[in-house]
């Protein structure tokens, strides 16, 4: 399975993972700006953004009727399209690819929804192993507090489809706690770098830059 083997492309693939409210997207954007200021050629891609299928996924989500396996297959299709048309060509060209979420998001979320762990991993078996995966680790209470400052958690974001609770915020805490547990179990399996996501933004960014500098040599 490619996901467990080091790729031989000249480019570098950097991935950030973590629950909503972990600050991973903010940190990746700051890193992107910094790398570009250093003259590096950077390509950015994010979860559920394929032109091929992202609109279909969004429409399906609006009906709140997706079952977990369908949810998983749709996201895998989105991922496969971006891998083939964005990520691999950029790596072949020797560029740095920054990915806001990767297949590990599915490994955490889909399993939290009750999908078989091995089935999901096999579904994404075509994935390329990143050169560095940075897991922004944050307590669920902090995640919820940050989300609450912006919005009420969405139906799927709160895991309302799992029937854990009828209250969106309570459901969010329960669902995201399961996701965090799945992420924590992947740290050793996939060699995640743990990023302490409760530290100040500037402090986190300096640590992130240091690790990326080492990664890029």
Share of the chain above pLDDT 90, in %: 78
Alpha helices in 39-92 (DSSP H): 54-62, 68-82, 88-92
Which tokens is 204 given?
């986190």
Residue 99: its H or E element: strand 96-100
Residues 160-213: tens digit of each pLDDT: 999 999 998 899 999 999 999 999 999 999 999 999 999 999 999 999 999 999
57 in Cβ contact with 75 (< 8 Å): yes
pLDDT of residue 72: 92
Helices (H) and strands (E) counted in the chain, each on its own, are 9, 5
Q: How many angstroms separate the CA atoms of 201 and 210, rounded?
A: 14
Q: How many angstroms separate the CA atoms of 43 and 82, rounded?
A: 12
- Average pLDDT for 125-148: 93
CB burial readout 19-56, b (16+ within 10 A) else e:
bbbbbbeebbebbbeebeeeeeebbebebbbbeebbee
pLDDT of residue 65: 67
Superfamily of domain 9-216: P-loop containing nucleotide triphosphate hydrolases (3.40.50.300)
At residue 19 the predicted structure's pLDDT band, cuts being 50, 70 and 90, is: very high
pTM (2 d.p.): 0.93
42 in Cβ contact with 90 (< 8 Å): no
103 in Cβ contact with 72 (< 8 Å): no
Q: How many angstroms separate the CA atoms of 19 and 30, rounded?
A: 18
């Amino acid at each position: 399975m490619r996901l467990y083997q080091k790729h031989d492309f000249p480019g570098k693939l950097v991935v950030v993972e973590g629950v909503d409210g972990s600050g991973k997207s903010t940190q990746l954007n700051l890193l992107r700006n910094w790398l570009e200021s250093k003259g590096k050629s950077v390509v950015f891609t994010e979860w559920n953004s394929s032109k091929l299928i992202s609109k279909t996924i969004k429409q399906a989500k609006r009906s709140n009727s997706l079952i977990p396996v369908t949810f998983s297959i749709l996201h895998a299709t989105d991922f496969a399209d971006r891998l083939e048309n964005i990520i691999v060509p950029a790596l072949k060209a020797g560029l740095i690819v920054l990915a806001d979420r990767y297949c590990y998001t599915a490994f955490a979320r889909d399993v939290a929804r009750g999908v078989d762990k091995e089935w999901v991993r096999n579904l994404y078996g075509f994935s390329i192993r990143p050169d560095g995966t940075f897991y922004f680790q944050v307590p669920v209470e902090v995640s919820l507090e940050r989300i609450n400052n912006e919005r009420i958690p969405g139906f799927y974001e709160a895991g309302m489809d799992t029937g854990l609770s009828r209250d969106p915020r309570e459901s969010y805490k329960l669902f995201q706690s399961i996701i965090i547990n799945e992420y924590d179990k992947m740290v050793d399996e996939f060699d995640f770098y743990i990023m302490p996501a409760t530290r100040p933004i500037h402090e986190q960014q300096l640590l992130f830059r240091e690790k990326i500098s080492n990664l890029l040599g």
